[in-house]
Structure 1
Amino acid sequence: MNGNVEIRAGRPAPLGATWDGEGVNFAIFSQHATKMTLCLFDEDGTERINLALPERDGHVWHGYLPGLGPGQHYGYRAHGPYRPDEGHRFNPNKLLLDPYARWLTGHPRWSGAVFGYDVTARHGDLTFDTRDSAGHMPRCVVMAADDGFDWQGDRPPGRPMEETILYEAHVKGLTMGHPGIAAPGTYAALASDPILEHIRALGATAIQILPIHAFLNDEHLIEKGLTNYWGYQTIGFFAPEPRYLTPGGGPHELKEMVRRFHAAGIEVILDVVYNHTGEGNHLGPTLSFRGLDNRSYYRLAETPRRYINDSGTGNSLNIEHPMVLRMVMDSLRHWVETYHVDGFRFDLAASLGRTAHGFDRNAAFFQAIRQDPVLARVKLMGEPWDIGPGGYQLGAFPNPWGEHNDRYRDQVRRFWRGDAGMVSKLANRVSGSAIRFDHDGRPSTSSVNFITCHDGFTLIDVVSYARKHNEANGENNADGHDHNASDNCGVEGPTDDPEIRECRNRRRRNMLATLMLSQGTPMLLAGDELGNSQGGNNNAYCQDNPIGWVTWEGHNPDFLAFARQVVQFRRAHPVLRQKRFLHARPRLVDGVPDLYWRKADGPPMTEADWADPERRHLIAEMRMASGTPEYDRLEYAVMAIFNAGGPLTVDLPSPREGWLWYRELDTADPACGSFAVRKPLKVHGESVVALILKKS
């Protein structure tokens, strides 16, 4: 690299490092810096050139270097005041990552040098550290906008939300234990033939992938011999996480992964973290945002030395700042346009709607995303909570958002555990949680229903452990949720007792069947269909090992067959996949209610029945709602019987001539097949039965 480099004024847009075929334009935002230095590196990490960006438009610093091209390594040093008590933490001794970097060479190596203050000093972050951090930092890499990847005419599946069945998975966790995959733990492995065939056979329509934005491994985890396995510590919102590449791999591997999923008819949803970054609290490292402009990128407390911590991880991004909001929007569009992803699941999404006055469903972020022509065509889902004041916002998000429904998870688990007074709660969840979501024109698909997700017990552990067992996390079992609504059926952990094993298997089938018979958008946790256990660990965020990986070998083929059966049952019956909420209203087509809650002997449920704490069964008869254009003439019905009590006899309503009730699903006898029912139906205790009314 020649030291005699001329830097020109360049342009303030686009942000990031942009190659135009003749040179590279660098543009970076900092409202409070006094000077911005661009640092250029050789591929071996040797820092060769430091150039002050010559121009500033508004708060965007920029410069243009002719002759530079893709593959160039770079970073920044930001100059300005180091006054933590005023919220400023500039330290030009620290190499900083470009927030818009499209590729990073790796991860920070922990050392006192990556902190802006002297970590050994008595006064902590009020001190100023003069060590150069460049030798401990990854570098950003200039990337061509078009890398020549052949998408082979790729088209997003574009599946409607009502037809969506989500499958939440971890790139490494799903693939490391599979016996028939090359390069396990990589993007390539995730889109390998065995995984694609498994997901298609299961019937899931979209894979929801835990974070693959570039993230760091927390120092305190490395010190304990652990790692940041889940990935919720983002340091690069535009760069793919490099740890999931094959040796020498690049962006084409992630693109090939998406292309292969699309070719299989499966959508790709990314779990994204825009509520905080991996830089942590006021004692955290200076890697990027903190050193570029701490007061702009983060929400600071009344005493600006500290951070507002609505995420629980040390800091909160300041989405109200227009340039931070711009970064988030640019990042989302980048993943749609460059990598063809089909949607996003937002971690702690309530933080994205926070303003100075609290959560606002009309906050700038929600308005920006609704009007964006690129993002308007993708799926948007999120956790409707954070830990800040008023942070629980289930049902409060605007269209077209889906929301992860933790009430569904908890109340379905409690019903099947046998808790008292759960029938009315289960009815609310089975009918799409209308009490939360049926307003402002929102569809029933707004409720993302799940029994398990990455955060908590797996399905087999829900029925095998009454309490968490997180000792391997090194926090004396103090981390993770204590309220799991789980039950071990009599013995804590693994057992050879055949009665307990059958109890657990049936309860798993019951919960999975309930999920697929409910209005809303169902989400499965990868490995639940295989009986994957984490040994009772309900917070495996740091377990990049067999605890956190899916176990493929030794699974119960009968349970896998049932999982496929119940998913396909949902896909086969549009009554279960309606966008319109069912409210027990007479249909225009025939005057029959679209939803009928019945007692076992036939009459409708009364207020006394709903209030009975000892009632342990719920019977729902569902039809297509009026006004559903393509299905108004479909006259069949689905009856779902959820029985957490003892054996039950159900008097079925008499069908008109030429029609019969057919039992299609029975969790007590999953291999029985379909048959017509012409007399009162005997329902086993602790089971789910689904019947179809159709022409004989």
Structure 2
Amino acid sequence: MRAWPGQPFPLGATWDGAGVNFALFSENATGVDLCLFDAPDDPRERVRIPMRERSDQVWHCYLPDVRPGQLYGYRVHGPYAPEQGHRFNAAKLLIDPYAKAVSNSIAWSDALFAYKVGGPREDLEPDPSDETSGVPKSVVVDNAFTWEDDRPPRTPWNRTVIYECHVKGMTIQHPDVDPSLRGTYLGLASDPIVEHLLSLGVTAVELLPVHHYVVDRHLAERGLTNYWGYNSIAFFAPDIRYATPEARYGQQVYEFKTMVKKLHAAGIEVILDVVYNHTGEGNHLGPTLSLRGVDNRAYYRLMPDNPRFYMDFTGTGNSLNMMHPRTIQLIMDSLRYWVTEMHVDGFRFDLAPVLARELFDVNRLSAFFDIIHQDPVLSRVKLIAEPWDIGPGGYQVGNFPVGWAEWNGKYRDCMRRLWRGDPNVVGEVASRLSGSSDIYAWSDRAAYASVNFVTAHDGYTLRDLVSYERKHNDANGEGNRDGHDDNLSRNWGAEGETDDARVIARRRRAMRNLIATLGFSQGVPMLSHGDEIGRTQRGNNNAYAQDNELSWVDWKLEPWQRELLDFTRRVIAIRHVHPVLRRRSFFRGRPVGAAGVKDLTWLRQDGHEMTDAQWHDPNRRVLGMLIHGEAADETDDRGRPVRGDTMLLVINAGFDPVDFTLPAVAGAGAWTKLIDTVEGHVEPATGPTLALEGFSLALLRHGVERRIGWTGATAESAALVNAATVGGASGLAAAELSLLGIGGVTP
């Protein structure tokens, strides 16, 4: 095998059309061997090539006889001295940190550990076994792909509706997806799934982690798996588990790109949930798979007084070393690769405060944020933080800088309290409905900094949130000790599934209340997959290890599930059409426009404005949110204002029905009820008051009647709204609006 010196840049294995350049950073290594394999389960390498060249701490060589599809790995030489933070063991084959594809999943054995498992000295004695059959191999890939005219949709934040989903769980049971594509990237981009997303009005999918990840040994030995995938080991490689069975030797890269291209063609953005805060190598007793064996001291945060052990802000055993420039480079290179080569549109950062910890504290001005802020590629995509970790001061909701949106955990908790009937919540509800300016305005961010959600992958589904008051996680094999205990849930009279018609009716109304509140709140709404059809995990609020029917979306729908789906479509369609429901900036709370009326007014039951004293009434559960039509801050392509209708959102979170006095509004027209979570139909208001049942919500529009007739928000009507408003048109034609029965946008 011919080996030439090669170049230290770029890192990883790079095919240039004639051969492959290999480059690996290791600051503390004394030598590096490049190993080539013929098959993923080979017990030994076919060729071992010492990398003689070292430039600026990068080991490199060029192989003119290697082609895409080649399997490879590294053996890195150096001291095995855990007390000093070094864990080199050249007997262990390592995954390239810059691998663009990985051949297969781990086959667990003691040979994957750099120390003698079960030995008297724990991790202090190196293991000489060099068996490689269980180690995934890195793959040389050819990045060539026919993107044609693919363009990122670049949906504005205030028009964005996010749908969080799992590639496999979303598609594995869908009867209309080709059986050979179920559970795969290509399945997620198949026509039945795309049509479902468009019918909902979704503008972006947020995929649970797709970086190649590790299934923890203790789960594998119990017949479980790391279904969610929050255990990355290769930050550049799309996981082969979501490729078609025929995919091998890098084909998963092609299939991922095909998925992105097809979703983009439908106007849907792709956001990746990324896990850069830790890796799947665990704590000091974990396996040696990649970074640990390449350069443990450089890549991981070690305890200053005892570098044998790891600092852990994640609960997984390790945290990446954000104080080392090469670690930051690894993350930035990975992010740029997914944008430039894989065409993704944004990222949701798992446990994002870990990335901002420079010494111990979270620093919102850390190097990580500075680098992203000035990067010409990354500063233009959607950046979303999960703003908490388990370390000291780890709850950082509202503390991320300009350019970042955040999962708003305070929104989730507030709305759960509201709709389970807690007292003393109306004041906070008003803040959350109007975009949480109390959290985000101080940092000069706008309303779309708040990604609003009531459920996500972690926790109860929407159906379980209104069906269980205790977690039921026995299937996880941890004695029901895992998962959150305080879920702010309510079962409405029975724990779990029931035949009680009264309880069932209450639960279904509660789901509609939560969906409507989410859709009509300022900020960016995020749905968790399957909530629109009442998916259940049977009370399991931590289904991370359940790759089975418990977590997969069941597409066999009962009539009530179809009704919930239609209701969700209608809510999102209304949001898309009415610009006052999706402002770019926060309300000012003062008169705007020629009419001289407030952009936002909070009303009590008698139709008058709330007083300061009434905000502090712990028993107040009725609230009206009046948004004037001139409060819309959208403009068309020529900068002309896009005016909307005046909207009134009325909430009754108490047990008793109320008559809410409808406010007088200047201008022609009358109040029309667009949504009622009890009745669900559209009708003109017939009197000066609105009869509102207990635990219900209604949305009304004031304006000239444009409705021909309401037949429900069908898939076609919602898709029409999606195509016309998200796709870039300035508005819907009057006839189309009247068919929808929901008013609309008037330039």
Match of 2:160 in 1: 164
Encode CA deviations 1:199-240: one digit per residue, 9 max, x unaligned. 110111111110110011110001111011000010100111
Match of 2:716 in 1: none
Using the TM superposition, give the Cα deviation of residue 606 of structure 1 relative to its aligned residue in structure 2, in angstroms.
Answer: 1.6
Structure 1 counterpart of 2:577, one-letter code:
A
Structure 1 counterpart of 2:428, one-letter code:
K
Using the TM superposition, give the Cα deviation of residue 666 of structure 1 relative to its aligned residue in structure 2, in angstroms.
Answer: 0.6
Secondary structure of 2:508's match? helix
Encode CA deviations 1:290-348: one digit per residue, 9 max, x unaligned. 00000000011121111111011110011221111111111111111111111111110
36-45 vs 386-395, which moves further: 36-45
Match of 1:153 in 2: 149
Distance 2:202 2:687 in 1: 34
Match of 2:563 in 1: 558
2:676 aligned to 655, 660, 666, which one? 666
Structure 1 counterpart of 2:398, one-letter code:
G
Contact 1:275/1:352 (<8 A) preserved: yes
Q: Pick closer, same or farther for the CA change 1:47–1:188 going to 2, 3 Å.
A: same
Q: Pick closer, same or farther for the CA change 1:648–1:583 going to 2, 3 Å.
A: farther
For 1:247-396, list aligned pairs within 5 A: 247-249=245-247, 250=251, 251-302=253-304, 303-396=306-399
Residue 657 of structure 2 is aligned to residue 647 of structure 1:
yes
Match of 1:503 in 2: 506
Structure 1 counterpart of 2:268, one-letter code:
I
Structure 2 counterpart of 1:493, one-letter code:
G
Structure 2 counterpart of 1:518, one-letter code:
S
Aligned CA-pair RMSD: 1.4
2:177 aligned to 168, 175, 181, which one? 181
2:645 aligned to 636, 651, 657, which one? 636
Residue 617 of structure 2 is aligned to residue 621 of structure 1:
no
Residue 619 of structure 2 is aligned to residue 610 of structure 1:
no
Structure 2 counterpart of 1:594, one-letter code:
D
501-510 vs 251-260, which moves further: 251-260
Distance 1:90 1:50 in 2: 18
Encode CA deviations 1:441-471: one digit per residue, 9 max, x unaligned. 2010000000100000000000000110000
Distance 1:475 1:682 in 2: 48
Encode CA deviations 1:396-440: one digit per residue, 9 max, x unaligned. 111211100111111101111001101111111111111110123
Contact 2:578/2:645 (<8 A) preserved: no
Q: Pick closer, same or farther for the CA change 1:70–1:627 going to 2, 3 Å.
A: closer
Using the TM superposition, give the Cα deviation of residue 607 of structure 1 relative to its aligned residue in structure 2, in angstroms.
Answer: 2.2
1:494 aligned to 497, 501, 523, which one? 497
Contact 2:579/2:632 (<8 A) preserved: no
Residue 430 of structure 2 is aligned to residue 424 of structure 1:
no
Match of 1:9 in 2: 5
Gaps of 5+ in 1: none
1:464 aligned to 446, 462, 467, which one? 467
Contact 2:584/2:633 (<8 A) preserved: no
620-629 vs 573-582, which moves further: 620-629
Structure 2 counterpart of 1:619, one-letter code:
G
Q: How many residues align?
A: 689
Match of 1:693 in 2: 702
Q: Pick closer, same or farther for the CA change 1:247–1:357 going to 2, 3 Å.
A: closer
1:405 aligned to 404, 408, 412, which one? 408
Using the TM superposition, give the Cα deviation of residue 101 of structure 1 relative to its aligned residue in structure 2, in angstroms.
Answer: 0.5
Encode CA deviations 1:10-35: one digit per residue, 9 max, x unaligned. 11100001122222111111111111
Residue 547 of structure 2 is aligned to residue 544 of structure 1:
yes
Structure 2 counterpart of 1:174, one-letter code:
M
Secondary structure of 1:359's match? coil
Distance 2:225 2:340 in 1: 31
Distance 1:674 1:574 in 2: 21
Q: Pick closer, same or farther for the CA change 1:569–1:626 going to 2, 3 Å.
A: closer
Residue 689 of structure 2 is aligned to residue 680 of structure 1:
yes
Using the TM superposition, give the Cα deviation of residue 627 of structure 1 relative to its aligned residue in structure 2, in angstroms.
Answer: 6.5
Contact 1:12/1:60 (<8 A) preserved: yes
Distance 2:242 2:190 in 1: 14
Distance 1:21 1:614 in 2: 71
Match of 2:740 in 1: none
Match of 2:118 in 1: 120
Distance 1:654 1:216 in 2: 61
Structure 2 counterpart of 1:319, one-letter code:
M
Contact 2:174/2:555 (<8 A) preserved: yes
Distance 2:403 2:577 in 1: 25
TM (norm. structure 2) is 0.90
Match of 2:524 in 1: 521
For 1:188-199, list aligned pairs within 5 A: 188-199=186-197
Q: Pick closer, same or farther for the CA change 1:461–1:626 going to 2, 3 Å.
A: closer
Distance 2:643 2:86 in 1: 65
Structure 2 counterpart of 1:570, one-letter code:
R
For 1:474-485, list aligned pairs within 5 A: 474-485=477-488
Match of 1:19 in 2: 15
Distance 2:533 2:632 in 1: 39
Contact 2:467/2:494 (<8 A) preserved: yes
Match of 1:228 in 2: 226
Contact 1:587/1:626 (<8 A) preserved: no
Contact 2:592/2:599 (<8 A) preserved: yes
591-600 vs 447-456, which moves further: 591-600
280-289 vs 370-379, which moves further: 370-379
Identity, in percent, stands at 52
Q: Pick closer, same or farther for the CA change 1:692–1:321 going to 2, 3 Å.
A: same
For 1:424-463, list aligned pairs within 5 A: 424-463=427-466
Encode CA deviations 1:574-597: one digit per residue, 9 max, x unaligned. 111101111312214332111101
Encode CA deviations 1:62-86: one digit per residue, 9 max, x unaligned. 1112222211111101111111111
Distance 1:621 1:369 in 2: 39
Distance 1:561 1:657 in 2: 32
Secondary structure of 1:136's match? coil
Using the TM superposition, give the Cα deviation of residue 659 of structure 1 relative to its aligned residue in structure 2, in angstroms.
Answer: 2.5
Gaps of 5+ in 2: 706-747
Distance 2:689 2:39 in 1: 76
Structure 1 counterpart of 2:150, one-letter code:
D
Structure 2 counterpart of 1:256, one-letter code:
T
Match of 1:31 in 2: 27
Using the TM superposition, give the Cα deviation of residue 130 of structure 1 relative to its aligned residue in structure 2, in angstroms.
Answer: 0.6
Using the TM superposition, give the Cα deviation of residue 632 of structure 1 relative to its aligned residue in structure 2, in angstroms.
Answer: 4.8
Distance 2:155 2:586 in 1: 20
Residue 39 of structure 2 is aligned to residue 43 of structure 1:
yes
Using the TM superposition, give the Cα deviation of residue 123 of structure 1 relative to its aligned residue in structure 2, in angstroms.
Answer: 1.4
Q: Pick closer, same or farther for the CA change 1:677–1:364 going to 2, 3 Å.
A: farther
Distance 1:581 1:625 in 2: 10
Q: Pick closer, same or farther for the CA change 1:548–1:626 going to 2, 3 Å.
A: closer
178-187 vs 156-165, which moves further: 178-187
Distance 2:138 2:626 in 1: 58
Using the TM superposition, give the Cα deviation of residue 605 of structure 1 relative to its aligned residue in structure 2, in angstroms.
Answer: 1.0
TM (norm. structure 1) is 0.97
Secondary structure of 1:499's match? helix
Match of 1:95 in 2: 93
Using the TM superposition, give the Cα deviation of residue 150 of structure 1 relative to its aligned residue in structure 2, in angstroms.
Answer: 2.2
Contact 2:36/2:46 (<8 A) preserved: yes
